Structure 1
Amino acid sequence: MNTHKLRPIALAIITLTALAGCNDETTYIEQPKQNQDPARQMRSVFADYQSAIHTLDNTEFGQVTDQMASSRQAVDRMYLDKLENIDRSALSDEDKIYYDTFQFDRNIAIRGASLPNPRFGNFDIPITHFYNYIDWNASVAGAKQETPDDYQSHIQVIREFTAWTNNLHSQYAMGIVDKARLPKVLTNRLVESTEKALAVGTAPYGLLSQGLEDIEQHRDQYEDAFVTEYQKAVADATNAVSGLIDFLKVDYLDGARGAGTAEDTNIGWGDLPNGQAWYQWQLDRNSTTGKPAMELSQLGEDLVADAKAEMIRVAELIVDKRGATPKANWREENGTISLRTFKLLDGNGDIDLNEFFDYLNSEQFFYGRDGRDISGTDYATLCEAASSPSACEAALIDYNTFKTDANDVVAKYFKPIKTDYTIVPVPANREEYDGVGSYGNNEFNLNTNPDYSLQKWNVSTLLLHEAAPGHHFQNAYSIEYPPADKPDYIQNVWYTAYAEGWALYTEWLGLEMGIYGELDNSGKPTFVNATGMCKLDLDYQTFQGGIYTDAEECNALQYFGSLNEAQLRNMRLAVDTGIHAKGWSIKQAQEYMDSNSALGNGDIESESYRYAAYVGQAVSYKSGYLVIKEMLAKAQTELGGQFEWASFHDQLLKYGDQPMEVVETSIENWIKTQ
């Protein structure tokens, strides 16, 4: 008789998942042996946890079910108990960072799975247009493979995609029963973006057939039986997606909240059953600061009001350069373009900020809308993927020019990094649904659609945020300068507040680095002797289409871009909580952003839908930034002349992503050692 022995971890998982719905508080869990070194105990807990989760679910796309959420919670509880049995005080300051991070992760996950409808206690559900896993997973399932052997293995990936899609279908169906579903306005957008992304040529879900078409083009390399098997797997996957989309269009949409328009109110997470508790959990896992929704909302509104004073200073300089009534082409809501006179001063001689915002959104400030035809550049081939190659090439010229300038300046504040990045345009079929920019895999993805991109005066701040010293630098630094014994678990964690807080901090750091000019006694840029893109020797009659009179005005408007983006993050605190805690409509959010910033209409539209869809994520930017700035001020005050930028940034970056409450402890301990 053959006896099959289970590994200890597998046995533990089976036991725990069987007990997941049980209330037996006396269940015994083996704890780390106390005669081991605490650092080794901790790493053992991390490694065993990763193995346990893999044992629980090793599918390509993950199993999205209530049962899986409950099982994961049981594993989380088990390993939190194991961790907390370790003597934290005996760990080094470095290891305390890892201990606290793992502890935070487990606690936030356990909380999420303890709320009703546990399938919502993760980043994947409900899927929306902004993080469309249907699109992303379908691209993996349908992808071409390198060899026949690869296709033999990949057929299982397609089957797992089908199972994942069918599970997702079931989850949305359950959402009808327990009244936890997306509003009509987001459901429609999810359906539209999915259909557009998965269509290839005339095939509605052709993205899933890319590999199959490759097989059929090389039919002589495959057995007929395998081709038939692969065809069935692809057909099953296509039917599963088609069935899900048809379901969302009819059964799911019927009875969902609202009429499907931007004017619909009460579409936020807070309006779901138990929604306010759910929303606070979303805020906590995104901001990692523990601040309640109403406190974040008030903070946002206060910061929005404060930011306008500095915007007025920039507007006053523009009036000095161009007068109070500059003229420029303006696009009306109906699409017509006419010459408009902008009255930048009101009847009392004060700056009219809303009029100034309009001026900065005139046609001359947008690539592809300024009348220029740019072609034949070094970026022509790259820009074939964009909807407007001319706008794309013009933008890439400017962004790549500033890339060189930024790299030179950044070197004075950080240890050098070797890994480079590339600026690539967002593909045409994603421009309407993606944001203005993103970063991943050493690529700064730039939306160059004339109606959905940022204005020319945003080049500096967007590149600082997404690339260097923002997201790219942050990612490359933690890889190139890792601590000596960094656990594998820590290398895979990701926190929005840390990542986006850092990127927003690097926008502010642009001021410190002199990107917009030397600073005055109050730390504000003077717009002279700048280290950024606005050089004294540029031909300002042609640079960016002749939109600046000189280097000073160029620096002032690039600085305004930094102010405007900072204001965006201020507004996010108010808008995210407005939609999800106060019942705002998307239209209300758009009007709030329009009245308090110079964001373009396309940017405002995409951002407002994003906040409705990507719950709580928008608050993470400013939340993380404020913690980093607070720690910077503390370090500079306590260290005085011993403070070094490169050393401070090294402590922030080398450990990778951390909850912000862990960042505070890390910097405080670092200060004591200096």
Structure 2
Amino acid sequence: MNTTKLRPVALAIMALTALAGCNDETTYIEQPKQTEDPARQMRAVFDGYQDAINTLDSTQFGQVTDQMASSRQAVDRMYLDKLENLDRSALTDEDKIYYDTFQFDRNIAIRGASLPNPRFGNFDIPITHFYNYIDWNATTAGAVQKTPEDYQKHLQVIREFTAWTNNLHSQYAMGIVDKARLPVVLTNRLVESTEKALAVDSDPYGLLRLGLSDIESHSDQYDDSFIAEYEKATDDAANAVSSLIAFLKTDYINDARGTGLDTDTNIGWGDLPNGQAWYQWQLDRNSTTGKPAMELSQLGEDLVADAKAEMLRVAKVIVEKRGNSVKAKWRENDDSITEKTFVLADDSGNINLNTFFDYLNSEQFFYGRDGENVSGTDYAELCKAASSQSACEAALVDYNIFKRDANDVVAKYFKPIKTDYTIVPVPAARELYDGVASYGNNEFNLNTHPDYSLQKWNVSTLLLHEAAPGHHFQNAYSIEYPPADKPDYIKGVWYTAYAEGWALYTEWLGLEMGIYGELNDDGKPTFVNATGMCKPDLDYTTFQGGIYKDAEECNALQYFGSLNEAQLRNMRLAVDTGIHAKGWSIEQAQEYMDANSALGNGDIESESYRYAAYVGQAVSYKSGYLVIKEMLDKAQSELGGQFEWAAFHDQLLKYGDQPMEVVETSIENWIKTQQ
């Protein structure tokens, strides 16, 4: 008699998934023996968990169903029990970071899988234009391979993409049944961005056929039968996406929430069945602080009000330089360009902040809208990917100038970072759907579209955030200075509050580093003797198109960019909770951001749709920053003269991403070891 032997992990998963829907509380789990070293036991738990999850779902793109969520929950419970049976007190402070991180992960995952429609506990469902896995997975499926052998293996990837797409189709169909659909306004953007991303030349699904085209261009290397097989697999994938898009345009969008207008209310997750519970889960996962939605909302509104006072200080500097009123070219709602007079202050010197915001959005402050024609730079080849060659080249010139300055300044605050990064433009096809910037794989991706990019006075703060010492340092540091014996599991964790909290903290660190000038007694920049891009010896009649009178005004406006970005993160607390907990419309969100900041119209538009689509993520920036800043203040207060910037940043960065509650424990333990 032949029998099939299964690995122990597989047997365990089979048993657990069978029990996933039961109420039997008598499941017995073999626990680690306490005679073993706790640190080794902990790593064995991590390794066992990764093996179990990989055995449960080994597909290229992942299976996203309620049933899979329940099965994963069973595995999460099993390994959380194993972990908590260990003696945490016997671990080193370093290993406690890993213990606490794994424990947080399992608890938040178990909680999400316990809610109705647990497939929503996965980033993949529901897919939106902002996290468009249809586009990203299609890019993987259609990718050109290096060798015929690679193409043989890649056939399975294409077939798994087809299966993934068909499953996604069924999940969206289930959304009709359980009344858990995207609103019309987001469905439309998902369809538009998908169709635009997948089209290559005249083929609406050409992205999926790039590999096939490569095979056909080297047909002498392949059997006709293989080419036919590859073509069939590619056609099946294209047909699956076509069917999904057709479904979204018809059955799915019918009776979905709203009409597709920006005035539609109740488009957030709070309006879904069990939506408020799901939204709070999203907040907890993203902020990792446990603060309820209404507390985060109030915090945001309070911070927004406080930030305006410092914006007024900057506006007064500009008025002193240019007078109470200034003239500049302005784009009207019908896209016509007129010369407009901006009355920044009345005769008594009272600043009109909203008019000042408008002035900072006049045409001269935007690359590609300022009348400048820039070409023939070192970035000409890179900028062929962008929609506006001139705007792209002008932006990359300025950002790379400040890149060199920033690298010199931040060296005093960190251990040396060897890994470099490149500033690259967002491709034209993605400009209208991506945000203003992002970072990944040692690339600072900059949106240079004239209508969707940031103003010139944002160069300093955006580079600090995305690159040095922001996301690039965060990524490079954990690779170049890893702690000894860091578990593989920990290397793969990612927390948006940690990542974005760090990047926002580095924006603030720009003040400490003197980027905008020496600091006064209140810790605010004076705009003189700056270490950043605004040097006294620059020719300000030509620098950035002549938009500054001198170095002081340049520093003041670059600092305003920092304030404005900080205000953006303040507003995110209010806007994210406004959309998903209070029933705000896109229009309400945009009006709130317009009234409280100098964000450009394109930025406001893309940001408002982003918050509606990327649920709860927006609150992570300020939430993470506040914890890091609190820990910095605590370390400086308790260590006094013993405090060292490089050592503090080393403790923050070398372990990689952590939940913010774990960061607090980590820094508090580190402070004790320094005393």
Normalised-by-shorter TM-score class: over 0.9
Equivalence for 1:225: 225
Equivalence for 2:473: 473
Q: Check conservation: 2:518, 2:530, Cα contact below 8 A.
A: yes
What's the CA shift for 1:88? Answer: 0.5
With 119-128 and 661-670 compared, the bigger mean Cα shift is at 119-128
| AA partner of residue 566 (structure 1) | A
Equivalence for 1:509: 509
Equivalence for 2:143: 143
What's the CA shift for 1:348? Answer: 4.9
Equivalence for 2:456: 456
Report the Cα distance in structure 2 between the residues aligned to 1:538 and 1:192, rounded to whole angstroms.
44
CA deviations 1:191-234 (Å, max 9, x no partner) are 00000000001111110000001111111111111111111100
Report the Cα distance in structure 1 between the residues aligned to 2:367 and 2:669, rounded to whole angstroms.
47
Report the Cα distance in structure 1 between the residues aligned to 2:226 and 2:68, rounded to whole angstroms.
32
Equivalence for 1:41: 41
What's the CA shift for 1:3? Answer: 3.2
- What is the DSSP-based 3-state SS (H/G/I as helix, E as strand, rest coil) of the residue aligned with 1:339? strand
Equivalence for 1:545: 545
Q: Check conservation: 2:64, 2:122, Cα contact below 8 A.
A: no
- What is the DSSP-based 3-state SS (H/G/I as helix, E as strand, rest coil) of the residue aligned with 2:444? strand
Matches within 5 A, 1:338-487: 338-346=338-346, 348-487=348-487
> Residue 584 in 1 paired to residue 584 in 2?
yes
Equivalence for 2:128: 128
Report the Cα distance in structure 1 between the residues aligned to 2:347 and 2:665, rounded to whole angstroms.
52
What's the CA shift for 1:66? Answer: 1.2
Q: Check conservation: 2:439, 2:466, Cα contact below 8 A.
A: yes
With 470-479 and 342-351 compared, the bigger mean Cα shift is at 342-351
| AA partner of residue 102 (structure 2) | F
Report the Cα distance in structure 2 between the residues aligned to 1:252 and 1:45, rounded to whole angstroms.
42
Report the Cα distance in structure 1 between the residues aligned to 2:210 and 2:92, rounded to whole angstroms.
51
With 451-460 and 114-123 compared, the bigger mean Cα shift is at 114-123
Identity %: 86
With 23-32 and 362-371 compared, the bigger mean Cα shift is at 23-32
Matches within 5 A, 1:66-465: 66-346=66-346, 348-465=348-465
- What is the DSSP-based 3-state SS (H/G/I as helix, E as strand, rest coil) of the residue aligned with 1:423? strand
Report the Cα distance in structure 1 between the residues aligned to 2:258 and 2:415, rounded to whole angstroms.
52
What's the CA shift for 1:347? Answer: 6.3
| AA partner of residue 275 (structure 2) | G
Matches within 5 A, 1:487-566: 487-566=487-566
| AA partner of residue 10 (structure 1) | A
Report the Cα distance in structure 2 between the residues aligned to 1:665 and 1:80, rounded to whole angstroms.
20
Report the Cα distance in structure 2 between the residues aligned to 1:124 and 1:471, rounded to whole angstroms.
23
What's the CA shift for 1:377? Answer: 0.6
Report the Cα distance in structure 2 between the residues aligned to 1:636 and 1:518, rounded to whole angstroms.
20
CA deviations 1:601-643 (Å, max 9, x no partner) are 0000000000000000000000000000000000000000000
Report the Cα distance in structure 2 between the residues aligned to 1:347 and 1:27, rounded to whole angstroms.
78
Report the Cα distance in structure 2 between the residues aligned to 1:69 and 1:165, rounded to whole angstroms.
18
| AA partner of residue 85 (structure 1) | N
Equivalence for 1:663: 663
RMSD in angstroms over aligned alpha carbons?
0.6
Report the Cα distance in structure 2 between the residues aligned to 1:617 and 1:348, rounded to whole angstroms.
43
| AA partner of residue 312 (structure 1) | L
| AA partner of residue 490 (structure 1) | I
- What is the DSSP-based 3-state SS (H/G/I as helix, E as strand, rest coil) of the residue aligned with 2:343? coil
Q: Check conservation: 2:324, 2:346, Cα contact below 8 A.
A: no
Report the Cα distance in structure 2 between the residues aligned to 1:265 and 1:349, rounded to whole angstroms.
40
CA deviations 1:247-275 (Å, max 9, x no partner) are 00000000100000111000000000010
CA deviations 1:90-130 (Å, max 9, x no partner) are 11100000000000000000111110001101111100000
> Residue 53 in 1 paired to residue 39 in 2?
no
* TM-score normalised over the length of structure 1: 1.00
Q: Check conservation: 2:287, 2:497, Cα contact below 8 A.
A: yes
| AA partner of residue 396 (structure 2) | L
What's the CA shift for 1:2? Answer: 3.6
- What is the DSSP-based 3-state SS (H/G/I as helix, E as strand, rest coil) of the residue aligned with 1:342? strand
CA deviations 1:27-52 (Å, max 9, x no partner) are 11111111111000100000000000
Q: Check conservation: 2:324, 2:347, Cα contact below 8 A.
A: no
| AA partner of residue 454 (structure 1) | L
Report the Cα distance in structure 2 between the residues aligned to 1:33 and 1:133, rounded to whole angstroms.
42
Q: Check conservation: 2:478, 2:654, Cα contact below 8 A.
A: yes
Report the Cα distance in structure 2 between the residues aligned to 1:32 and 1:405, rounded to whole angstroms.
53
Q: Check conservation: 2:457, 2:560, Cα contact below 8 A.
A: yes
- What is the DSSP-based 3-state SS (H/G/I as helix, E as strand, rest coil) of the residue aligned with 1:451? coil
Report the Cα distance in structure 2 between the residues aligned to 1:228 and 1:364, rounded to whole angstroms.
56
Equivalence for 1:640: 640
Report the Cα distance in structure 2 between the residues aligned to 1:660 and 1:123, rounded to whole angstroms.
20
Report the Cα distance in structure 1 between the residues aligned to 2:123 and 2:237, rounded to whole angstroms.
23
CA deviations 1:467-514 (Å, max 9, x no partner) are 000000000000000001100000000000000000000000000000
| AA partner of residue 83 (structure 1) | L
| AA partner of residue 480 (structure 1) | E
Matched length:
674
Equivalence for 2:615: 615
Report the Cα distance in structure 1 between the residues aligned to 2:427 and 2:567, rounded to whole angstroms.
28
What's the CA shift for 1:24? Answer: 0.8
Report the Cα distance in structure 2 between the residues aligned to 1:602 and 1:414, rounded to whole angstroms.
35
Report the Cα distance in structure 2 between the residues aligned to 1:139 and 1:364, rounded to whole angstroms.
37
- What is the DSSP-based 3-state SS (H/G/I as helix, E as strand, rest coil) of the residue aligned with 1:411? helix
| AA partner of residue 336 (structure 1) | S
| AA partner of residue 198 (structure 2) | L
| AA partner of residue 437 (structure 2) | G
Q: After the TM superposition, which parts of structure 1 deviate over 4 Å for at least 4 consecutive aligned residues?
A: none
Report the Cα distance in structure 2 between the residues aligned to 1:124 and 1:163, rounded to whole angstroms.
15
Report the Cα distance in structure 1 between the residues aligned to 2:197 and 2:348, rounded to whole angstroms.
52
- What is the DSSP-based 3-state SS (H/G/I as helix, E as strand, rest coil) of the residue aligned with 1:424? strand
What's the CA shift for 1:310? Answer: 0.3
What's the CA shift for 1:5? Answer: 1.6
CA deviations 1:531-563 (Å, max 9, x no partner) are 000001100000000000000000000000000
- What is the DSSP-based 3-state SS (H/G/I as helix, E as strand, rest coil) of the residue aligned with 1:378? coil
Report the Cα distance in structure 1 between the residues aligned to 2:331 and 2:226, rounded to whole angstroms.
57
- What is the DSSP-based 3-state SS (H/G/I as helix, E as strand, rest coil) of the residue aligned with 2:95? helix
Report the Cα distance in structure 1 between the residues aligned to 2:535 and 2:2, rounded to whole angstroms.
78
CA deviations 1:324-369 (Å, max 9, x no partner) are 1111000011100011110001465310000000000000000000
Q: Check conservation: 2:388, 2:450, Cα contact below 8 A.
A: yes
Report the Cα distance in structure 2 between the residues aligned to 1:40 and 1:282, rounded to whole angstroms.
33
